[in-house]
């Protein structure tokens, strides 16, 4: 594994086009959708929000198109076999951004990718620590969660609940649990999967190329 890519630092909101504030925004019919008004040059909070949502949706669709079923299966198999994700992505001519971007919007892909990353991660790395993420370049779910918590600005909180200080990972896919409160799974789909499949891939022996 290598260290060169901050795979989780991809933030698609910062990539947004800076609106041209110099262009005069003529009066528009209020019936036009915010997105239409953005395209016509209206720059306000509502149209900007619609524009960013549109950008995101189109980027997600593009990521899904680039990662066809064959490519996905290949990524999972290689990653589960221990090859680094950047290396695998490079060999397939897709970006790690596309792979992780899709994981943000596709719960099934997220589950399978996390399972593959867990299966293929090296044994001699302190997983679940920022060191694992930074020094060893590990992008397994536990290391990503640790790094995620590490990067949070340390603002003093009014109440610190002990249960929330430890990184929490989904019992099924190993992905980060971001919702508050006591939870075992990152998403309803993981909870369902876990309940339905008696031999869910998470059981310590992920079988990521078993597509469901």
Task: List interacting residues with Zn ion (CB under 5 A).
Answer: 127, 132, 138, 140, 143, 170, 172-173, 175, 186, 190, 194, 200, 202
We find the least distance from the C-beta atom of residue 72 to Zn ion, in angstroms, to be 17
Dig out the tokens for 46 from the structure: 């509502």
We find the least distance from the C-beta atom of residue 92 to Zn ion, in angstroms, to be 22
We find the least distance from the C-beta atom of residue 157 to Zn ion, in angstroms, to be 26
Say if residues 60 and 105 touch (Cβ distance below 8 Å).
yes
Decide whether 50 or 173 has the Cβ nearer to Zn ion.
173
Say if residues 138 and 127 touch (Cβ distance below 8 Å).
yes
We find the least distance from the C-beta atom of residue 71 to Zn ion, in angstroms, to be 22
For the packed helices 107-120 and 96-105, what is the interaxial angle rounded to 10 degrees?
A: 130
Q: Which residue has the tokens 């200080």?
A: 165
Decide whether 76 or 143 has the Cβ nearer to Zn ion.
143
Decide whether 54 or 171 has the Cβ nearer to Zn ion.
171
- Residues ≥6 apart with Cβ < 8 Å to 78: 88, 91
Decide whether 38 or 185 has the Cβ nearer to Zn ion.
185
Question: Per DSSP, what are the bridge partners of residue 176?
Answer: 169
């Amino acid at each position: 594994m290598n260290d060169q890519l901050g795979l989780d630092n991809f933030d698609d909101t910062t990539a947004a086009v800076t609106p041209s504030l110099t262009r005069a925004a003529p009066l528009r019919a209020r019936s036009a959708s915010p997105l239409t008004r953005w395209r016509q040059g209206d720059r306000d909070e509502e149209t900007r929000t619609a524009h960013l949502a549109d950008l995101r949706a189109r980027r997600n669709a593009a990521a899904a198109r680039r990662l066809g079923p064959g490519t996905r299966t290949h990524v999972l198999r290689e990653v589960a076999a221990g090859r680094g994700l950047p290396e695998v992505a490079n060999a397939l001519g897709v970006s790690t951004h596309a792979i992780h971007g899709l994981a943000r919007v596709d719960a099934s892909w997220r589950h399978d990718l996390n399972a593959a990353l867990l299966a293929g991660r090296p044994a001699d790395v302190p997983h679940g620590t920022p060191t694992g993420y930074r020094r060893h370049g590990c992008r397994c779910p536990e290391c990503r969660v640790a790094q995620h918590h590490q990067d949070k600005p340390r603002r003093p909180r009014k109440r610190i609940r002990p249960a929330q200080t430890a990184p929490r990972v989904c019992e099924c896919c190993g992905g980060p649990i971001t919702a508050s409160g006591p939870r075992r799974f990152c998403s309803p789909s993981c909870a369902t999967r876990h309940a339905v499949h008696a031999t869910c891939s998470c059981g310590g022996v992920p079988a990521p190329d078993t597509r469901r």
